[in-house]
Amino acid sequence: MNRSKPPFRMRFFATKLFRVLTIALMVSALTNPLQADVDAELGKKLFKANCASCHKLDKKLVGPALAGVTDRHSEAWLLSWVRNNAALRASGDAEANAIFEEYGGSVMAAFENLSDDDIKSILAYTQTPPAAPASGNLDVVPAPAAEVKTDNTTLLVILGTFLVLFIFLLLRIRNTLKEVNGDVGTTVVQDANALTRWLMGNKRFMTGFTVVVTVAFLYQLFWYLMGIGVEQNYQPVQPIAFSHKIHAGDNQVDCNYCHSSARSSKTSGIPSTNVCMNCHMYIDGSEIVNEAGQLKYAGEGSPEIAKIYAAIGWDADNRTYIEDYEQMPVKWIRLHNLPDLAYFNHAQHVTAGQVQCQTCHGPVEEMDVMYQYSELTMGWCINCHRETEVKTANGYYAESEEGTQTINERLAEKFHDDKITVEKIGGLECGKCHY
Domains of the chain by start residue, with CATH: 2-30+149-226 (no CATH), 32-126 (1.10.760.10), 244-321 (no CATH), 346-433 (no CATH)
Comparing 85 with 245, which gets the higher pLDDT? Answer: 245
In angstroms, the Cα distances linking 10 to 16, 21, 196, 331 are 10, 16, 15, 63
Largest CA distance in the chain: 102
From residue 413, how far is each of 172, 388, 398, 406, 410 by CA, in Å? Answer: 70, 19, 17, 11, 5
User: What contacts 123, CB < 8 A, 6 or more positions away?
Assistant: 43, 69, 70, 75, 78
165-169, 204-208, 212-216, 425-429: the lowest-pLDDT one: 165-169
For the chain, percent of residues with pLDDT exceeding 90: 19
3-state helix, strand, coil split of the chain in percent (to 5) is 55, 5, 45
How many distinct helices (H) and strands (E) make up the chain?
A: 20, 6
CA angle 280–101–284, rounded 5-degree value: 5
pLDDT at 47 exceeding the cut of 90:
no
Highest mean pLDDT among 112-121, 332-341, 363-372: 363-372
pLDDT at 213 over 70: yes
Beta-bridged to residue 1, according to DSSP, are none
Confidence bin at 116 (pLDDT 50/70/90): confident
Q: Give the residue, 271 or 96, on which the prediction is more confident.
A: 271
Average pLDDT in the 52-69 region?
Answer: 75
| pLDDT value of residue 403 | 57
Answer whether residue 294 shows pLDDT above 70.
Answer: no
- Which range among 69-83, 197-211, 226-240, 336-350 has the greatest average pLDDT? 336-350
376-427 pLDDT tens trace: 999 999 999 999 988 776 656 666 555 556 666 777 777 777 788 888 888 8
Residue 259 pLDDT more than 90? Answer: yes
pLDDT bin (cut points 50, 70, 90) of residue 361 is: very high
Q: Is the pLDDT of residue 3 over 60?
A: no
Higher pLDDT, 411 or 79: 79
Q: Is the pLDDT of residue 297 over 50?
A: no
pLDDT at 135 over 50: no
Look at residue 37 and tell me whether its pLDDT is greater than 80. Answer: no
Q: Do the beta carbons of residue 144 and residue 333 sit within 8 Å?
A: no
What's the burial of 79, exposed, middle or buried (CB within 10 Å: 0-12/13-18/19+)?
middle
pLDDT at 346 over 90: yes
Distance of CA 172 to the CA centre of its chain: 44
Q: Is the pLDDT of residue 280 over 80?
A: yes
Report the candidate in 378, 357, 354, 377 with the shortest Cα–Cα distance to residue 367: 357
**Residue 364 pLDDT greater than 70, yes or no:** yes
pLDDT value of residue 149: 41
Look at residue 36 in the predicted model and tell me its pLDDT. 45
pLDDT, position 161: 75
